[in-house]
RNA sequence: GGAGAGGUGGCUGAGUCCGGUUGAAAGCGCCGCACUCGAAAUGCGGUAUGCCCUUUAGUGGGCAUCGUGGGUUCAAAUCCCACCCUCUCCGCCA
């Protein structure tokens, strides 16, 4: 989010960025107007409050000196000023509310290197790794393959929870768990992230901190009795751990990883990916989060992308990297790389990780700062996040890409230690 | 779920009953300077945040903030109300 000051200082930039995203910039003018009115009133109120403060002291002194009648006169005057202050404060409150409402819904400013485009068809291809699945037979989609091999039970999932949920029996569950452990080991080991286990139910403030609220309330599950939200990604829990903190520079960059289930209502996705487990209301994900100094976020963004890729490299799954175009870049992000894995049954690449640099956008919302040196002013951090990687999609990509004519699924070498050396599923 | 205690600055902790230069004592920590070959110890000085106005300016002035939000009052860390959170004991439970 932008603070009024940010807004004033970056009007042109924010407007241009909004237009690149394909959104209207009219709200910006309105916000500027509100801000001007607000500041006028602030000046007026503070002047009155100053008078109130000084004259209240006088009243005290007069009373102490026994000059009751003089005091009475001042008290009457103060009563009038008090009313004026109250009135102006009411106006101010209303203006603040309106302004904040707009500010909370303005997306981050796009990085200059983000390609201009309307939707995902205009994302820029950066790199392709490995060769798409080739075989002398037609690959089965994962739901057929998984069901046939006893790894997936969508019927029973439907029975207990409905559509967009999955049940993984036996080796299916084992594979999921192996993937989680494998990913966490790589990220917390050689890639240098601190592993953290967090709650998956969080307060609304946490959702606001990372940018899910207020704009995307419809995408989230909310518990009615307590008003807590189920996280759509561990980014919410991990980043908000440091909300309202001023960090010491020697802990930066802070690199965190955690596995959690993620919950999404998929409100706007009716009819999309209705078969199989591509799009679920609940799925596992290993998340990567970094909190850093502004000047290092760009480099860390590339590192983070590399760390996400390292999983696919080891699993030897074919993938490509794209930079999201302006119209496809998410609300909180200044720039996003998507990693897309090859899905044989669909004959195309599908997102399996999204790595974003959110610059200071989330840090301002969540008040995550650091003090460059003792005595210096605190500055907002930059935040980054990326999937490292989505477990459910990895599961299905793996069984599809490693399927054989016989219906068997080969376990990639890197994963065998996590499955008791098992070579086939 | 029941009973009780409490939320004050980076930390510890006064002040709250009896409202009035209290942004808030004291100590610790931290920063600067002095002393020292250097360090420790000691001494002196400094040390919250946000916002508004003003200035050529790292200038000057002001407002707000003692868990949060309301209320009473000329004036509230101090009085009243509601809420949130933490801790202790009991109960229940993976």
DSSP track, A215-233: TTGGGS-B-TTT--EE-SS
Nucleotide nearest to A76 (CA to C1'): B74
Distance A211 CA to B7 C1' (A): 29
> Do A4-103 and A120-419 agree at the fold level?
no
Contacts (Cβ under 8 Å, ≥6 apart) of A313: A129
Residue with minimal CA–C1' distance to B46 is: A375
Whether the beta carbon of A41 falls within 7 A of nucleic chain B: the reply is no
Catalytic residues of A: 264, 279, 351, 354, 393
Query: A95, A27 in Cβ contact below 8 A?
Result: no
Separation CA A388–CA A355 (nearest Å)? 9
Whether the beta carbon of A39 falls within 7 A of nucleic chain B: the reply is yes
Q: Which nucleotides of B are covered by protein (CB under 7 A)?
A: 20-21, 30-31, 47, 49-53, 61-64, 70, 73-75
What residue spans define the domains of chain A? 4-103, 120-419
Rounded to the nearest 10°, the torsion over CA A35, A40, A42, A43 is: 140
Over its length of 425 residues, how does chain A's per-residue pLDDT go in tens digits? 899 999 999 999 999 999 999 999 999 999 999 999 999 999 999 999 999 999 998 998 888 888 888 888 889 888 889 989 988 998 998 898 899 889 988 999 999 999 999 999 999 999 999 999 888 899 999 999 999 999 999 999 999 999 999 999 999 999 999 999 999 999 999 999 999 998 898 888 888 888 888 888 889 998 877 788 899 999 999 998 888 888 888 888 999 999 999 999 998 888 889 999 999 999 999 999 999 999 999 999 999 999 999 999 999 999 999 999 999 999 999 999 999 999 999 999 999 999 999 999 999 988 888 888 777 788 899 999 999 999 999 999 999 999 999 999 999 999 999 999 999 98
Instruction: Give the ranges where A163-253 is alpha helix by DSSP (H).
Output: 170-188, 204-210, 234-240
Cβ burial A79-104 (10 Å sphere, 16+ → b, else e): eeeeeebeebeeebeebbeebeebbe
Separation CA A192–CA A255 (nearest Å)? 7
Distance A263 CA to B92 C1' (A): 30
Whether the beta carbon of A69 falls within 7 A of nucleic chain B: the reply is no
DSSP assignment, residue A41?
Answer: H
Closest CA to A220 of A288, A271, A282, A278: A282
Whether the beta carbon of A54 falls within 7 A of nucleic chain B: the reply is yes
Distance A381 CA to B61 C1' (A): 32
Contacts (Cβ under 8 Å, ≥6 apart) of A95: A34, A37, A38, A41
Distance A361 CA to B41 C1' (A): 48
Nucleotide nearest to A49 (CA to C1'): B63
Q: How many CA atoms lie within 13 A of A50 on its CB side?
A: 6
Nucleotide nearest to A38 (CA to C1'): B52
Whether the beta carbon of A75 falls within 7 A of nucleic chain B: the reply is yes
Strand (E) or helix (H) holding A142 = helix A142-148
Distance A272 CA to B89 C1' (A): 55
Closest CA to A405 of A131, A151, A171, A136: A136
Whether the beta carbon of A44 falls within 7 A of nucleic chain B: the reply is no
Contacts (Cβ under 8 Å, ≥6 apart) of A48: A81, A84, A85, A88
Instruction: Report how far apart, in Å, the C-alpha atoms of A247 and of each of A110, A238, A362, A379, A383 are.
Output: 26, 15, 15, 10, 13
DSSP states along A286-355: EEEEEEE-GGGHHHHHHHHHHHHHHHHHHHT--EEEEEPPGGGS-TT-SEEEEEEEEEGGGTEEEEEEEE
Nucleotide nearest to A74 (CA to C1'): B74
Cβ burial A270-298 (10 Å sphere, 16+ → b, else e): eeeeeebbbbbbbbbbbbbbbbbbeeebb
The class that CATH gives domain A120-419 is alpha beta
Q: A322 - beta bridge partners? A: A125, A338
Whether the beta carbon of A46 falls within 7 A of nucleic chain B: the reply is yes
Separation CA A407–CA A411 (nearest Å)? 13
Strand bridging mode A245-247 / A368-370: parallel
Residue A408: other Cβ atoms inside 10 A: 14
Q: Is the ipTM here above 0.95?
A: no
Q: If DSSP codes are grouped into helix, strand and coil, which group holds residue A371?
A: coil
Distance A73 CA to B48 C1' (A): 38
Nucleotide nearest to A203 (CA to C1'): B84
pLDDT by residue (tens digit) across A345-356? 999 999 999 999
Distance A53 CA to B66 C1' (A): 19
pLDDT of residue A121: 95
Whether the beta carbon of A3 falls within 7 A of nucleic chain B: the reply is yes
Residue with minimal CA–C1' distance to B30 is: A374
Query: A410, A404 in Cβ contact below 8 A?
Result: yes
Instruction: Report how far apart, in Å, the C-alpha atoms of A389 and of each of A47, A272, A353, A405 are.
Output: 55, 21, 6, 28
CATH 3.40.50.720 fits A4-103, yes or no: no
Distance A67 CA to B19 C1' (A): 20
Enter the tokens of residue A198: 């967090």
Enter the tokens of residue A327: 């119209």
Whether the beta carbon of A80 falls within 7 A of nucleic chain B: the reply is no
Rounded to the nearest 10°, the torsion over CA A48, A52, A58, A62 is: 120
Whether the beta carbon of A416 falls within 7 A of nucleic chain B: the reply is no
Whether the beta carbon of A56 falls within 7 A of nucleic chain B: the reply is yes
Separation CA A92–CA A83 (nearest Å)? 14
């Amino acid at each position: 989010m932008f603070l009024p000051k940010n807004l004033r200082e970056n009007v042109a930039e924010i407007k241009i960025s909004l237009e690149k995203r394909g959104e209207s910039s009219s709200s910006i003018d309105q916000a500027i107007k509100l801000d001007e009115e607000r500041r006028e009133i602030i000046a007026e109120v503070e002047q009155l409050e100053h008078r109130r403060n000084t004259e209240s002291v006088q009243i005290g002194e007069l009373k102490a000196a026994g000059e009751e009648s003089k005091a009475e006169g001042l008290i009457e005057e103060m009563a009038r000023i008090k009313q004026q202050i109250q009135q102006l404060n009411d106006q101010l409150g209303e203006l603040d509310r309106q302004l904040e409402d707009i500010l909370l819904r303005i997306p981050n400013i796009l990085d200059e290197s983000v390609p201009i485009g309307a939707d995902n068809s205009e994302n820029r291809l950066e790199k392709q790794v490995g060769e798409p699945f080739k075989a002398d037979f037609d690959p089965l989609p994962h739901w057929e393959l998984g069901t046939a091999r006893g790894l997936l039970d969508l019927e029973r999932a439907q029975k207990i929870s409905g559509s967009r949920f999955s049940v993984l029996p036996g080796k299916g569950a084992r594979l999921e768990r192996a993937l989680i452990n494998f990913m966490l080991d790589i990220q917390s080991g050689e890639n240098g992230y601190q592993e953290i286990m967090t709650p998956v139910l969080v307060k609304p403030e946490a959702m606001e901190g990372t940018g899910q609220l207020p704009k995307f309330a419809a995408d989230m599950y909310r518990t009615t009795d307590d008003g807590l939200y189920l996280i759509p990604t561990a980014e919410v829990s991990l980043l908000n751990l440091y909300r309202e903190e001023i960090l010491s520079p020697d802990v930066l960059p802070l690199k965190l990883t955690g596995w959690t289930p993620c919950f999404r209502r998929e409100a706007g996705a009716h009819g999309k990916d209705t078969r199989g487990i591509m799009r679920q209301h609940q799925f596992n994900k290993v998340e990567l989060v970094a909190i850093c100094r502004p000047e290092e976020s760009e480099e860390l963004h590339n590192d983070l992308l590399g760390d996400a890729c390292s999983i696919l490299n080891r699993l030897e799954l074919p993938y490509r990297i794209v930079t999201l175009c302006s119209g496809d870049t998410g609300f909180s992000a200044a720039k996003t790389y998507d990693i897309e894995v090859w899905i044989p049954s669909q004959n195309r690449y599908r997102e399996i990780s999204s790595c974003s640099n959110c610059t200071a956008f989330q840090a301002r919302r969540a008040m995550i700062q650091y003090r460059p040196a003792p005595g210096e002013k605190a500055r907002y951090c930059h935040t980054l996040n990326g999937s490292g990687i989505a477990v459910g999609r990895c599961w299905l990509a793996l069984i599809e890409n490693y399927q054989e004519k016989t219906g068997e699924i080969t376990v990639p070498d890197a994963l065998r230690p996590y499955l008791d050396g098992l070579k086939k599923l």
